[in-house]
Amino acid sequence: MDELNLKTLEQIPIPDGLEERLSAKIDEWEQEEKQQKAQRRSILPKVLRYTAAAASVVLVVGVGIHLLNQDRNVNMNLAQQDTYQDPVRARQEADRALNLLAYNLNKGMGQLEKAKALSDKTKQSFNEKLKVLK
């Protein structure tokens, strides 16, 4: 059957100039492909430029915010140093700070106790399940 198809195909006349037209069309496709690659290459530098510009803006804004916060911290430190010149006020500030620390520590300990109770309950349940499996 393959021989029959080959013989039939050999008998079909080939139009004049077919090879040249096919070659021209293939060349045209190759040119289009090259142009598409060139367009992709030209897009990449544009994207890099925009990305670099955006990164520069972010960097400048970040440095500006950092410097503003640094100035605020310096001003706050100067204000805090004033409390130590008056012993009574310094003691009040120390008491306030220690009370805040104690409050947060107690709050954290309460949460730790809840977590420990839950852990113990889970451990007990797990041990019971293991005993059932044995």
Q: Where are the domains of the chain?
A: 25-83, 88-134
Task: Give me the pLDDT at residue 4, please.
Answer: 63
Report residues of the chain scoring pLDDT below 70: 1-4, 42-44, 75-84, 134
Query: Which positions ≥6 away from 90 have C-beta within 8 Å?
Result: 83, 84
Task: Give me the pLDDT at residue 83, please.
Answer: 56
Task: Give me the pLDDT at residue 77, please.
Answer: 61
**Structure token digits, residue 24:** 């021209």
pTM over 0.85, yes/no: no
Q: Are the C-beta atoms of residues 83 and 89 closer than 8 Å to each other?
A: yes
Which amino acid is present at 113? E
Name the helix (H) or strand (E) containing 76: helix 18-83
